[in-house]
Structure 1
C-alpha cells in the first residue's frame, strides 16, 4: 500500500467531509452505443443509476485516479478519450454519521474500455451495472449533465 492509498481514520474523514469539498473523478464510460452506469448502494445518490467515480488521493493525478477507480470499481482498465470538465455537486445526504451533506468538485472523463468485451467485477458500491442508450431520461441530474456535454 502506497502513502496515497492509506485509509484516513474515520474521525478525520468525518471532519474533512463536514468542512471541505472533496476532489473526485467520474468516469463516463462509453460502450456498445451507450454509457455504463451502476446502481448505487451507498450515499450519496443511493438507489440511483450513476457513473463510476471516486475521490482523488493526495499525490495522485486525476488521470491516475480514473485508472485506479476503473480497476477498483469495475475490475477493468479504461482508455481516457476526453476531459468533459469540472463540475460541482452538492448532496443533502452523506454516508457518514453526524454529517448531513457532501460537496464534490469532480472532473468527468469520457472513456472507453481497454477491451471489447469487459468482464465487470463490480464492488460493494454497486448492486448492478447496465448500459444506458439514448434517449437518456429520468437519470440523476448530475449524470444528465455529463451526458449532455459529451
Structure 2
C-alpha cells in the first residue's frame, strides 16, 4: 500500500485537530551523553524544551515516521534503540487559530543519530537544540514522563 505522503489541506487539518486525537511519534534522542531537546517555536508547548516529534502520515509505518521526523527536524538518520511506548498528551493550546486544544497519541522511541552524523536545526519547529543531562529539571511534564522511563 502506498503511503500518503502529502499534507492534509489546512482547512481539513483544522477540522481534524478540533475533533480527533492526532497520532504522532516522539523521538527521545540520546546524544553526546545526554538527551537532545529542541526549544519549541510553535504551539503546543511553545517556548518549552521538548523532544522532536511529528504526526504520522496515512499508510506510513511508525518507524518510517521516526526517520522522516529525524531527517526533517534534526537533519540526520537515526537508529531506533527502543520503542518506549504510547503516551497521551493533552494541551490547552493549538497551533491553529480557532482551535483551543490538541490531543496527541504519541508513540515514543529512544533513538541515536547514525554513527558519525551530526544534528542541527533543520526546520521551523525549534529555534535551537540543546543536550540535557541528569538531573533533568525545569522541563515540560511530558518530557519528564519520557525521561523517567529511560533513567
| TMscore range, shorter length | over 0.9
Q: Which runs of 5+ in 1 are unaligned?
A: none
- Give the Cα separation in 2 of the matches to 1:119 and 1:21: 30
Structure 2-normalised TM-score?
A: 0.95
Alpha-carbon shift at residue 116 of structure 1 (Å): 3.5
- For 1:106 and 1:4, locate their aligned partners in 2 and report how far apart those are by CA, in whole Å: 19
Cα distance in structure 1, aligned partners of 2:117 and 2:13:
37
Count of matched residue positions in the alignment of Structure 1 and Structure 2: 149
Q: Structure 1 residue 9 and structure 2 residue 43: aligned?
A: no
Contact 2:3 2:60 in 1 (8 A): no
Identify if the C-alpha distance between structure 1 residues 119 and 146 changes in structure 2 by more than 3 Å, giving closer, same or farther: closer
Which residues of structure 2 form unaligned runs of 5+? Answer: none
Q: What's 1:64 paired with?
A: 64
CA distance in 2, matches of 1:133, 1:84: 19
CA distance 1:121–1:97, shift in 2 (3 Å)? closer
The C-alpha deviation readout for 1:77-123, integer Å capped at 9, x for no partner, is 00000011000000000010110000000010001010345142421
Q: Which residue pairs with 2:74 in the alignment? A: 74
**Aligned-residue offset at 1:31:** 1.0
Aligned to 2:54: 54
Question: Compared with structure 1, are the counterparts of its residues 35 and 143 closer, same or farther at alpha carbon in structure 2 (3 Å cutoff)?
Answer: same
Q: For the residues of structure 2 that align with 1:31 and 1:3, how far apart are their CA atoms?
A: 30
What CA RMSD, in Å, does the superposition of the two structures yield over aligned residues?
1.2
What does residue 123 of structure 1 align with? 123
Counterpart in the other structure of 1:106: 106
Deviation at 1:5, TM superposition (A): 1.9
Q: Aligned partners of 2:7 and 2:110: how far apart in 1?
A: 28
C-alpha change, 1:26 and 1:39, in structure 2 (3 Å) is same
